[in-house]
Chain A
Amino acid sequence: MAALDPHAAVVTGATGAVPVAALTTADGRPLARALAISSRRARRRAFLLVLPLLAFVLITFVVPIGQMLHRSMYNDGFAANMPQVSQWFADTPPGTEPDEAAFAALAADLTAAAEAKTIGIVGTRINYDVPGTRSLFTATGRKARGGFEPPYKAALLDADEKWGDLRLWRVMRNASTAYTSNFYLAAVDRTRDDEGRIVMAPAQQQVYVMLFQRTLVLSLLITLTTFLLGFPIAHLLATLPMRRSNLLMILVLLPFWTSLLVRTTAWMVLLQQQGVINDLLVWMGAIDEQGRLSMMYNQIGTVIAMTHILLPFMILPLYSVMRTINPSYVRAARSLGATSWTAFRRVYFPQTLPGLGAGALLVFILAVGYYITPALVGGSSGQLISNMIAMHMTETLNWSMAAALAALLLGGVLVLYWVYDRLVGIDNLKLG
């Protein structure tokens, strides 16, 4: 081992016994190679320490996210179970009116799917786009037990005249390939028309862009309120003597360590119509019994509770930057004639910007993906995009739609994460 030590080689070279061009280690090997071997070994050792965790995170975190991304553009509910009609769609250009061959393929597929008991899966897939069609598939499937007689178009229209609906055929065409961008299109309120062009979705189905906008606006608002509330506190803590600021710091850290559900419950108790704040206001005479404020199950509740929950993430980075600001700069500005406002605005505030940037980015990143608090106190107007993802996962069971929305949200968050890493560095993330 000692022979590989680069320090030993440096000593050999420094004695001047060997010409500089042919530096060797004590046992006579070229220095450059010995150094390369030694540093490669050190790199491998460092990497081996990280490897178990990296493998763990890849398996339990990166692979699942990858599966989710795959799901967002892959759904074979229709394509796999309706092969013949899918083939007909592949053979004809978009906008082709369904002919007898199409109906024959459809009839054969419906019969086969009904026998294989996969007709429900097919119906569910089409139901995402045309609500109410799942029963059309299952009902026709029941009639298809004995098989349809040609002419198939007449037979199917006889079973249910909805089969002649061109919108249904357009949706089936969109679903006839397993890999599809349709869920992403739907996630930005777009759809395909008869010729396969991308157009706006019908007005009553346009919800997602509005939700993304609301998520952005509310997150910005929450970032702003945490800044307004966090800045004075961080400044106070940074300028007080260590002993007293450590005491006050507990008041910031206690909420940080308290369970999220406890804090959300506490806000529900405070904000509800028969709750503590309304009771207090009535008692003080600020409002009367009828005029009780509704501060919960709307956006106000979401903003108040999330501000409280995310406030420590603003205070802690601001505090650690403000601690390092030398107070003599402000004193110098004052002695040169600046008013206290000018000294703050021109000298102190610019020095807090690194902490402000770090805190604001962190709060914003955490806010755009928030789920629990909006779900509990948000009502219907305070729901964010995360709540829509959860709804598609647990209620409508349109998992591909949930995955597409999640993928868009993930993309946004990763961009912000990258910005955070470039500006602040993840190494500088501080906890308490």
Chain B
Amino acid sequence: MALPTYASPLEKVWHWTYIGICVAIFVFLIAPIIVVIPLSFNAEPYFTFTDKMLSFDPDGYSMRWYDSLLTFGMVRSEAPRDASWWADAWANAKWISAAKNSLIIGFFSTIVATVLGTLAALGLSRPEMPFRRLIMAVLISPMIVPIIITATGMFFFYSSTCVDSTTTLGRMLAPVLSNSGCLANTYLGVVLAHATLGIPFVIITVTATLIGFDQSLNRAAASLGANPRTTFFKVTMPLILPGVISGALFAFVTSFDEVVAVLFIAGPDQQTIPRQMWNGIREQISPAILAVATLLVIFSIALLTTVELLRRRGERLRGLTPA
């Protein structure tokens, strides 16, 4: 972006204006995320900087909203903080149970999306794959179709997909289905929905990794006597692993951030963090939401760093950029 030596004065002015515009846009991108962090330490229940905060008075800051994340929903939040208090928080605090739900649902939906998505990406990357374009379009569509439409369809499907609980199949599936034997209001239902939404991300990242993949490596392994399984685990897998992991992270984030499907198909037992935030924003908005937001921002910084490191490692492994 260096200015050439032959630039006229007008061009110099424009160049610096342009830099200024870019800085302003970067501020627009980042400022909203940054502003949330100090405000979450606000001692007052306001969504703006108080005078005390601006003068860096320690009284203006507090951890009360983080504390309220723990105590909200507890039975005896005022009791001394001994082991039984923590047990109460672990069992009853709403944000903690939301976090547990988010992690459980995120974990299982990521596993489903990653395993099925990686297999499919391997198939889709083979030149002999029939109907490649059409199948790819179908598999990517959960990302393109508006989430409200997907959630509406899933609501109809889940409330009509029921198994009679008196049959053998019904008894076998009883632990994962709701009392009425349906998929609605169950963990299984939310996991399946989130896996579907995460699949396009796995497909995209893994097929992108496979574009640079040298198929002759597989043939070399086969010619040296490795069976297809050994070839996959010893040759293919280590090379595409960075792509698989970043796909899995995308799928996890998709599930971890998803609220519309949860609103439509989950029951009161499957309240996730976004669902709890949705309640908080729509009903009793308090800076506690900002405390959650801050924790989530830290979480996304960690994820972004991981994905970025993986991407670089993947490119180095596949020899796309010199180390």
B-contacting residues of A (Cβ < 8 Å)?
A: 39, 42-43, 45-50, 52-54, 56-58, 60-68, 71, 229, 232-233, 236, 239-240, 248, 250-255, 257-270, 272, 274-276, 279, 308, 311, 340, 365, 368-372, 376, 386, 389-390, 393-394, 399, 402-403, 406, 409-410, 413-414, 417, 421, 426-427, 429-432
Contact = CB atoms under 8 A, between A and B. Distances in A.
Contact of B152 (A45, A53, A236, A406): A406
Contacts of B139: 53-54, 57
B32 interface: yes
A426 B137 contact: yes
A67 B157 contact: yes
A298 to B, nearest CB: 17
16 contacts: A48-B123, A60-B154, A71-B156, A236-B1, A254-B33, A257-B300, A257-B307, A258-B33, A262-B293, A263-B32, A266-B36, A269-B32, A389-B149, A417-B137, A429-B204, A430-B208
Interface stretch (B91-99, B127-135, B164-172): B127-135
A369 B195 CA distance: 20
B207 interface: yes
Nearest to A367: B146
Contact of A60 (B1, B196, B277, B278): B196
Contact of B32 (A63, A308, A365): A308
B257 A259 contact: yes
A262 B149 contact: no
A339 B264 CA distance: 57
Contact of A389 (B21, B133, B148): B148
Contacts of A390: 148
A74 to B, nearest CB: 11
A401 to B, nearest CB: 11
Given A52-B119, A276-B35, A308-B29, A46 B129 contact: yes
B65 interface: no
Given A46-B130, A65-B153, A229 B146 contact: no
Contacts of A71: 156
Interface stretch (B41-49, B55-63, B69-77, B81-89): B41-49
Contact of A431 (B35, B155, B201, B301): B201
Contacts of B163: none
Nearest 8 A/B pairs, CB to CB: A369-B146, A49-B123, A64-B153, A64-B157, A266-B32, A53-B120, A50-B123, A68-B153
A236 B22 contact: yes
Nearest to B144: A417
Contacts of B277: 261, 265
B296 A54 contact: no
Given A46-B130, A371-B260, A308 B300 contact: no
B292 to A, nearest CB: 8
Contacts of A421: 133, 137
A253 B148 CA distance: 25
Contact of B281 (A65, A268, A409): A268
Contacts of A372: 259-260
A409 B277 CA distance: 27
B281 A265 contact: yes
B130 A47 contact: yes
Nearest to B124: A50
Contact of B48 (A274, A389, A429): A274
Given A259-B296, A410-B149, A413-B144, A232 B21 contact: yes
B181 interface: no
A257 B147 CA distance: 18
Contact of A232 (B22, B120, B148, B253): B22
B36 A269 contact: yes
B16 interface: no
A426 B136 contact: yes
Contacts of A248: 26
B138 interface: yes
B33 A266 contact: yes
B259 to A, nearest CB: 6
B290 A276 contact: no
B303 interface: yes
B126 interface: yes
Contacts of B111: none
Contact of A259 (B137, B274, B311): B274
B29 A60 contact: no
Contacts of A240: 1
Contacts of A274: 46-48
A372 B263 CA distance: 11
Given A61-B142, A369-B146, A403 B119 contact: no
B294 to A, nearest CB: 9
B46 A46 contact: no
Contacts of A410: 145-146, 149
Interface in B276-291: 277-278, 281-282, 289-290
A68 B156 contact: yes
B104 interface: no
B33 A262 contact: yes
Interface in B220-242: none
B106 interface: no
A49 B119 contact: yes
A46 B154 contact: no
A276 B35 CA distance: 9
Contacts of B308: 250, 253
Given A61-B142, A64-B154, A376-B282, A409 B297 contact: no
A47 B135 CA distance: 10
Given A257-B307, A426-B136, 14 more contacts: A45-B126, A65-B153, A233-B26, A257-B303, A258-B297, A261-B277, A266-B32, A268-B47, A269-B36, A390-B148, A403-B156, A409-B146, A417-B137, A429-B140
B187 interface: no
A320 to B, nearest CB: 11
Q: Which of A52, A259, A268 has the most CB of B within 10 A?
A: A259
A338 to B, nearest CB: 13
Name the residue among A61, A68, A371, A427 with the largest chain B CB count within 10 angstroms.
A61
A365 B135 CA distance: 20
Given A57-B138, A376-B281, A369 B149 contact: yes
A262 B208 contact: no
